[in-house]
Amino acid sequence: MPPTEQRNHPPEHRRGRPRSEAVERSIVEAVVKLLEEGAPLAEVSIERVARTAGVGKATIYRRWRGKEELFIDVLKDIEPVDAELPGTSVRDDLIAMLESLRSRGLAKRSSALLYNVFAEMQGYPALWRAYHDTVVEARRRRGAEIVSRGIESGEIRSDVTAELINDLFVGPMLLRSVLRPDGELEDDLAERIVDAVLEGLRPPGGTGSAGSAGSPGSTGPAGDAKPTG
């Protein structure tokens, strides 16, 4: 998908005088333009962005405290949108969460801009840390909240921490989409991962979520599963 089709996150407003959406959009688009032209992250300065956007540096600093903060909003803008959680069941929410990961993996493979930016970020500790703190951690918290609901409802065993359980769901998708760039990202991958992990995380004697019974990727009706202890 071309990056222009993915730019649907408006920058987050933080401080300063009332904003002009058109001005903010021109600033974000200026950063994207510089990156698409091959400018390394280290060379995309506030001064250069201001010149490209046709605004003053003060205009940018009224909206973002520095380059890292601006870049985070740009990354949110060009990444695929996180899917809305359906809220119908823990299983459905987990599948939606992993499907968002799969979509981002596909986007990074098809978008040279996303691929190059994330590759460069590995050598830019300040930006990587800012991205991790504001984006990655928010996604981890969302996953842990879904898992905690499953523990509270008795669909997921309670003798393992929500953080570790979340890693068990997310890990296989990250392995396929990030660590194995040639790994298959099939349409039903999120569903198969969730069903396989949920099967092993049922409480002893539990029947699991009603949403998982007879679902694709499961071994049969939920009530037929033997307790795993």
Backbone angles phi, psi at 148, to 5 degrees: -60, -40
Integer Cα distance of 6 and 74 in angstroms: 11
Residue written as tokens 């890292």?
68
CB atoms within 10 A of CB 91: 22
Answer for the pair 176, 105: CB distance below 8 angstroms, yes or no.
yes
Q: How many CB atoms lie within 10 A of CB 165?
A: 24
Each residue's pLDDT expressed in tens, for the chain with a length of 229 residues = 443 334 444 455 444 444 688 999 999 999 999 999 989 888 999 999 999 999 999 999 999 999 989 999 998 888 888 888 999 999 999 999 999 999 988 988 878 888 888 888 888 888 888 888 888 899 999 999 999 999 999 999 999 999 999 999 999 999 998 788 788 899 999 999 999 999 999 988 765 443 443 443 333 334 344 444 3
Q: Which two tokens stand for residue 11?
A: 């920058």
Could you tell me if 53 and 44 are in contact, meaning their C-beta atoms sit under 8 angstroms apart?
no
| Nearest one of 157, 170, 158, 229 to 198, comparing CA atoms | 157
Whether the CB-CB separation of 197 and 169 falls below 8 Å is answered with yes
Closest CA to 8 of 110, 81, 75: 81
Tokens of 115: 């691929």
Radius of gyration of the chain (CA): 21
Cα–Cα distance measured from residue 176 to residue 104, given in angstroms and rounded to the nearest whole number? 12
Q: Residue 31: its pLDDT value, please?
A: 95
Helix axes 46-53, 21-36, angle to 10 degrees: 110
Question: How many C-beta neighbours within 10 Å does residue 26 have?
Answer: 17
The four Cα atoms 184, 94, 143, 151 give a dihedral, to 10 degrees, of -130
Domains of the chain: 3-78 (1.10.357.10), 90-224 (1.10.357.10)
Reported pTM:
0.72
Whose structure tokens read 């001064």?
A: 47
pLDDT score at 227:
40
At 122 the pLDDT is: 81
pLDDT of residue 34: 94
